[in-house]
Structure 1
Amino acid sequence: MTAGVGTRRPGADLVRDRTDHLIGGRWVRSAGEPVAVVDPATERVVAHVPAGTAAEATAAVDAAHAAWPAWAATAVAERVGYVRALAAALDAAAEEIGGVVATEVGMPWHLAVPAQVRMPAQVLRTTADLAEGYPWREPTSAGEVLRRPAGVVVAITPWNMPLHQIAAKIGPALVAGCTVVLKPSEVAPLCAYALAELVVAVGLPPGVVNVVSGTGPVVGEALVRDPRTAVVSFTGSVDAGARVAGLAAPGIKRVCLELGGKSANVLLDDAPLDVAVPSAVQQAFFNSGQACNALTRLVVPAALHDEVCERLVAAVGEIRTGDPFDASSDLGPLVSAAQRERVRGHVRRASADGARLLTGGPEAPDGLDVGYYYRPTVFTDVPPDLALAREEVFGPVLAVQVYGSGDAAAVALADSTDYGLAAGVWSADRERARAVGARIRAGQVKVNGVRTRDSLDAPFGGYGRSGLGRELGRYGIDEFVEITSLLG
């Protein structure tokens, strides 16, 4: 769809000022100052949400802690039923909530509906399916193992894939019998408010899910420090994740960290370039490159380098950047002025360091002077010691890296960063690609273009600086249970 003058945009009714938090099943007025929510396509303030206080964070933990015994005692089938109801409610509101995401994040609406709303709904459904066969009680030689609810969960979620990250945390926490306090990103909080309204609408018991908006240093830290919280599930930057882990350490709390990535997409010497290169572009630039698992390094054999670069420039030239509510747009803007400046800084440094710019650059796309738009950018001549090869950009910037020959050289280059979140491998021989993928130190390796969304029962998480723990699948439920060995 293209939204013209006088045309109502999907989600317009949900893009409004919010003054309350959801605490204990009630909308509670916040004492915090308003925080502006900016539409990155227009640079205009479209709503305000409260910057919650530490006292409000504590009140949310009060509610979650009070609700936990009854929720933990609720039958698994009943807990699963609530999660299914929430998934159905998300699906029913997908077009409207997709409009909210397009407005506050900037992803084109026609892409946001399936990726940012229907996929989170499917995460909830998949979690519910897995909970029905999960080994809550498992026999051993001398008794049985019991998997029991861990307690109150703090979920701190990012702005780039807001509902997906919420679903990946609250779905398994709820089926496990935990209660939740959610702190969404203050950059893109409106879709979390839309979800909070659905939590009330489906009748989840008061206090089982609480939502408090605000900043990390105030609300987030108060939640992590609270002695009654048992599990902290955080998605964000490495620095913020380290801060969360440090705050949780005195309480010996379980911490699940889904952090950054500098993921390699490896083309072996027999890779089918007709499909591999378009896929590489899509997997690098999805959501304007604002994805922790974006495959932002394209690792290619020297013999294929020139052809791959030629194909990349042609493919990137066909990308249409523009209004998130225009159906012809492939990419929208970056989320904020600050994010655009960070990306520009990486691009300028890469050029200064000697990387060769193939296409794109730090200037705004033609005709898009308003909005935080950015040109899709590709560099080559990026050796492993360059900052562009080591540091997460979180924008539409792809680095081409070359290895001489042999699968071992490809694996070594893929593993040449401190991150290990994701990777891709391409070969005309699927078994060869799988064998190479099994050697790469990454939490999720995609063979011949498979995407995370194609396998929502597969674990997601990383090695090294990419984090701790796993989300999705039965492994996501594991994060929210304690294990008792009952002997005799």
Structure 2
Amino acid sequence: MNYLDFYIDGEWVKPEGAATLEVIDPSTERSIGVISLGSRADLDRAVAAARRAFTGYAQWTREQRLELLAAIIEGYEKHSEALAECVHQEMGAPLSLARSAHVPAGLGHLQRAFEVLRTYDFDRPHGTTLISREPIGVCGLITPWNWPLNQLTCKLAPALAAGCTLVLKPSEKAPLSAMLLADILHQAGVPKGVFNLVNGDGPTVGDGIARHPDIYMVSFTGSTGAGIAVAKAAADTVKRVSQELGGKSANLILADADIDSAVRHGVSSCFRNSGQSCNAPTRLLIPRALQQQAIEMARHVAAEVCFDDSHPSTAIGPLANQAQFERVQALIGTALQQGAHAVCGGVGRPDGVLQGYYVKPTVFADVTADMPIAREEVFGPVLVIIPYDSEDEAVAIANDSPYGLSGYVTAGTLERARSVARRLRTGMVHLNGSKADNGAPFGGYKQSGNGREWGVFGLEDYLEVKSIFGYQPNA
């Protein structure tokens, strides 16, 4: 099946060029379709459509935008199974995970944007001045392959709520769910030009979005290296750049915690989505005296992993593409050469798995904080266990990272967990196994990015602030 057209100005149109790319199902390593790779001319066409549409859409009332979001939500729910199938095929998530996590995450962001828009105060008086928040303009969205619907909707939903018009470049390696979502938006009545989709690679379409003088904001999710390139390319046009980048999140388990339960939860969270989550707890910090207990539990959890959907609670899929598979294999191999001790896993596919980009769930123990495997983002089902001798040392190890996306603390009391959380230099912290809250800001410190997504903070990323002096007469 071919997916060769782009969605521009309210319709599916032929690309300007002839370059194409196969979309590969990572569980079979077989082609499931062909997409076109866009050119700068395709991008210019999409941006022009978004620019024309902005004047009218920016003036829509709150009620009109709410009606549009409600229609999108209805269409998304109607097509939820088809969206799950797309995610399953394009990036390898087990169908159970696509249904239970990937698709619901996207729906949650759409619903949250609706609720935020319903009550958000765009105009706020300050003495005789009116402080008004207005849509920033045409926005370029560049989204990744690891959580394709989650990362797309957490940008698209608040941007539409704000009154912005959009040009999307989904990952060329996992574009199918985005293309189905474009159809859902069309059926929901999104006006011509408000949403546009151009498939393509980073050096062409991604770089073009960052450089384009008629795009006023870029929202990018991906690796830190690619984020740096986007920021440099965007600098000449002084556009806003919001980035959600890499992570190497520490999971601090304190001595008074329920060790077995905390380690089980931490290891399972690390392996979830095959380890392909920027905020995965990939560094497990444990009191030195309890390291062997943690190793045994981690080995037990890894042994429970299956590579089909026979046990959805422990199933993991392949890595999303061949390049990522090869990269993770290389990182595991290098760690072994450098003396890291693998208590389970290692290089190669899991036993009995003959095809697909599957990786053995791998746990390294007796790792020191300076080892590359403890510092580099692997983006696979790979955990390092790092022992510590005091709480102060654990906090220092956790903070000794170029990243600062998320952190995890498990303690015997909530009060102690709260105290440690305040010492972590990260944008988010999960206490005692708590889940994320899509109404709270998502984003990181340091090289994990800038800007915040989700909830009110996500909406405000797409708004400019205007001061209108003398709006009210002097008292």
What range describes the TM-score normalised by the shorter chain of this pair? Answer: over 0.9
What amino acid sits opposite 2:383 in the alignment?
A: L
Root-mean-square deviation (CA, aligned residues, Å) is: 1.3
Q: Which amino acid aligns with 1:476?
A: G
Superimposed CA distance per residue, residues 19-60 of structure 1 (whole angstroms, 9 cap, x where no aligned partner): 110000011111332210001111111100100111000100
User: What is the match of residue 69 of structure 2?
Assistant: 83
- Partner residue, 1:475: 457
CA change 1:75–1:155 in 2 (3 A) is same
Report if aligned partners of 2:268, 2:301 keep a CA contact under 8 Å in 1.
no
Find the partner of 1:287 among 273, 285, 292: 273
Q: Do structure 1's residue 440 and structure 2's residue 421 form an aligned pair?
A: no
| 1:3 corresponds to | none
Shift of 1:78: 1.3
Runs of 4+ in structure 1 over 3 Å off: 324-329
* 1:171-190 matches, cutoff 5 A: 171-190=157-176
2:347 equivalent to 1:352: no
Question: Mapping of 1:190-339 within 5 angstroms?
Answer: 190-322=176-308, 330-339=315-324
The aligned counterpart of 1:485 is: 467
1:58 to 44, 66, 71: 44
| Range with bigger deviation, 30-39 or 197-206 | 30-39
| Contact 2:260–2:294 (Cα < 8 Å) also in 1 | no
Partner of 1:368: 353
- Deviation of 1:181 after TM superposition, in Å, equals 0.4
What is the TM-score normalised by the length of structure 2?
0.97
Give me the whole-angstrom Cα distance separating, in 2, the residues matched to 1:404 and 1:32: 60
1:37 partner amino acid = V
Q: Distance in 2 between matches of 1:229 and 1:325?
A: 46
Distance 1:304 1:131 in 2: 48
Deviations 1:453-486 (A, max 9, x none): xx11010111111011110010011111000112
Gaps of 5+ in 2: 471-475
Asked if 2 retains the 8 angstrom alpha-carbon contact of 1:320 and 1:328, the reply is no
Q: What is the SS of the residue equivalent to 1:423? A: strand
**AA aligned opposite 1:451:** K
Paired with 1:274 and 1:385, the residues of 2 have a C-alpha distance of 26
Query: Which amino acid in the other structure matches residue 430 of structure 1?
Result: L
- Tell me by how many angstroms 1:72 deviates: 0.3
Is contact 2:143–2:152 with CA below 8 Å preserved after alignment? yes
Structure 1 residue runs of 5 or longer lacking an equivalent are 1-15
CA contact (8 A) 1:444 1:461 kept: yes
Q: 1:95 to 1:325 in 2, by over 3 A?
A: farther
Helix, strand or coil at the partner of 1:73: coil
- Name the structure 1 match of 2:447: 465
Aligned to 2:473: none
1:350 partner letter: A
Take 1:71 and 1:403, find their aligned partners in 2: how far apart are those partners? 55
Task: Give the aligned residue type for 1:457.
Answer: G
**C-alpha distance in structure 1 between counterparts of 2:44 and 2:311, whole Å:** 42
| Distance in 1 (alpha carbons) for counterparts of 2:281 and 2:77 | 28
Indicate the percent of aligned positions where both proteins have the same amino acid: 42
| Residue 383 (1) aligns with residue 365 (2) | no
Contact 2:403/2:447 (8 A) holds in 1: yes
Q: Is the 8 A contact 1:168 1:471 kept in 2?
A: yes
Cα distance, 1:276 vs. partner?
1.1
CA–CA distance in structure 2, aligned partners of residues 326 and 106 of structure 1: 16
Deviations 1:407-434 (A, max 9, x none): 2222111111100001100012012101
Letter in 1 for 2:414: R
Which amino acid counterpart does residue 321 of structure 2 have in structure 1?
Answer: S
Letter of the structure 1 residue corresponding to residue 256 of structure 2: D
The structure-2 alpha-carbon separation of the partners of 1:242 and 1:325, relative to structure 1 and needing over 3 Å to count, comes to farther
Instruction: Tell me the CA shift for residue 230 of structure 1.
Output: 0.5
